[in-house]
Amino acid sequence: MQKKMLVGGKWREGRESYELRSPYDNRKIADIPSATLEDVEDALASAAIGAGIIRNMTALERSQILERVSDLFNERKEECARILADENAKPIRLARAEIQRTIETYKFAAEEAKRIYGETIPMDAALAGKGRIGFTIREPLGIIGAITPFNFPFNLVAHKLGPAIAAGNSVVLKPAKQTPLSALKTAEFFLEAGLPEHVLNVVTGSGGLIGDALVKDPRVKMITFTGSVEVGKAIREKAGLKRVTLELGSNSAVIVDSVDDLDAVVNRCVEGSFSFSGQVCISVQRIYVQRQLFDAFVEKFKAAASRLKVGDPHDEETDISALISPAEKARIHSWIAEAVSQGAQVAFGGEERDGILVPTVIINSTTKMTISCREAFAPVVNIVGYDDWDEAIALANDSDYGLQAGVYTQSVAKAIDAIRRLEVGGVIINDIPSFRVDHMPYGGVKDSGTGREGVKYAVEEMTELKFASIKY
């Protein structure tokens, strides 16, 4: 099956293409066009026209398009879920959950399109302000360059496109090389929903070539990127004065201090550690357990992990399937081996079953081991005991990342203390850091990035605040 890019409202073949293959069984799924610099230039020229078109659309018109896109996802959610199972090996039940979130994200965007507010300024609060009215409005930036990852290719595209279009911007979208089908399907829905030609362009292929062109082009007023720290830092260096939102890596920690129901906490932590094989930005990678609970927690955790089914992503019973590439599997095997050589122990897992890395539990790791201090992005979790509360906070903060953290405690004082002291963008009390709903503010500190997603907050990032004053 030969796929086409969307440029200037038309489906375009590439001069060259690459084979898209399933991460699970390596079967060929489609031939995907590899965009050239000429394709990118055409997409940018189209987006410049589109920026003028959508800027002059009413809030209601933009809202109705986004609402219709949401409806189309709802009507065709099984088709979309199976695209995910094919292109990134997401187990089908998790794929359906992503589509449900995508439906919600576009609905939130449709709502936000109708409530982009300014405010009045009391000019007469200053001596020179007498006889003047002041107010602010928010205006679209223009062209948004959106670069998206493989792990949530429908919903994270929605987090770029939904707010951008709600705010009245055009978009050039560059999806991950492994997950172009989801982006192209989304583009189909937008055209079907009535989005004018030129407003959305989708170019597929090399991230280096396309990404560099978007980041450096002066017509692009903002880059919104989700991906690795290394690429994010490179974007920041090349972007100049254009606005940049970066949702980068993480190494999320959970502190288990005191609990009412240990079994429930364990099951939730297992879910947060191994959902989509740990290929989630806020996947649980480090669990710090109060020493008195440690032994019981580990045994219950191992038992729960052993019940997860490994296999075909299209199988309704599958919990864990293939990592996105053999290279990623080889990398995480080397990290596990390194940790063991440095004194850590594999309490569960570590092996493969039918070529799939099974859920793996590491104990006795330290914050200096690669498996603990870098983003694993694999079905691997570190469980470490601690003696006192201050030690737990220090361990959780001992990371270059700071996206979200989870804390289980029955103490209100400790909950408030954790919120104040944890160096992260979001603190989730009595749940795992993997918790996210799509209208909440979402983003990190330190190497986890800059700016915030969550539809309302992304709209603010994608608009310019303009002040006006009238003398009367």
DSSP string, 73-84: HHHTHHHHHHHH
Please write the tens of the pLDDT for every residue from 26-54. 999 999 999 999 999 999 999 999 999 99
Q: Helix 180-192 crosses helix 155-166 at what angle (to 10 degrees)?
A: 40
Express as a percent the part of the chain with pLDDT over 90. Answer: 99
Given a contact cutoff of 8 angstroms between Cβ atoms, the answer to whether 93 and 75 are in contact is no
Assign 249 to helix, strand or coil.
coil
- Name the strand (E) or helix (H) holding 221: strand 220-226
Q: Helix 92-112 crosses helix 77-87 at what angle (to 10 degrees)?
A: 120
Fold category of 5-248+448-471 in CATH: Aldehyde Dehydrogenase; Chain A, domain 1 (3.40.605)
State the pLDDT at residue 334: 98
State the pLDDT at residue 356: 97
Instruction: Name, in order, each residue with C-beta under 8 angstroms of 364's C-beta and a sequence gap of 6 or more.
Output: 343, 344, 345, 384
247 a catalytic residue = yes
Q: Is the pLDDT of residue 90 over 90?
A: yes
State the pLDDT at residue 31: 98
Express as a percent the part of the chain with pLDDT over 70. Answer: 100
Mean pLDDT of 122-137: 98
Q: What is the CATH number of domain 252-438?
A: 3.40.309.10
- Residue whose C-alpha is closest to residue 68's, from 16, 102, 24, 106: 106
Helices and strands of the chain, counted as H and E runs: 15, 24
Instruction: Give residue 290's pLDDT band: very low, low, confident or very high (50, 70, 90).
Output: very high
Given a contact cutoff of 8 angstroms between Cβ atoms, the answer to whether 421 and 404 are in contact is no
Query: Which of 98, 104, 247, 375 is the catalytic position?
Result: 247
State the pLDDT at residue 307: 98
State the pLDDT at residue 1: 84
- Residue whose C-alpha is closest to residue 140's, from 460, 443, 381, 454: 460
The two tokens of residue 338 are 């390194």
Find the length of the chain.
472
Please write the tens of the pLDDT for every residue from 234-267. 999 999 999 999 999 999 999 999 999 999 999 9
CA angle 135, 140, 146 (to 5 degrees): 145
State the pLDDT at residue 309: 98
Domain boundaries, the chain: 5-248+448-471, 252-438
Please write the tens of the pLDDT for every residue from 412-441. 999 999 999 999 999 999 999 999 999 999
Given a contact cutoff of 8 angstroms between Cβ atoms, the answer to whether 42 and 71 are in contact is no
Query: Which of 80, 98, 104, 281 is the catalytic position?
Result: 281
What mean pLDDT, rounded, does the chain reach?
Answer: 97
State the pLDDT at residue 46: 98
Distance CA 80, CA 82 (A): 5
State the pLDDT at residue 458: 98
Please write the tens of the pLDDT for every residue from 354-403. 999 999 999 999 999 999 999 999 999 999 999 999 999 999 999 999 99
Please write the tens of the pLDDT for every residue from 150-202. 999 999 999 999 999 999 999 999 999 999 999 999 999 999 999 999 999 99
Instruction: Name, in order, each residue with C-beta under 8 angstroms of 307's C-beta and a sequence gap of 6 or more.
Output: none
The torsion of the CA quartet 352, 354, 355, 361, rounded to 10 degrees, works out to -20
pTM of the model: 0.96
375 a catalytic residue = no
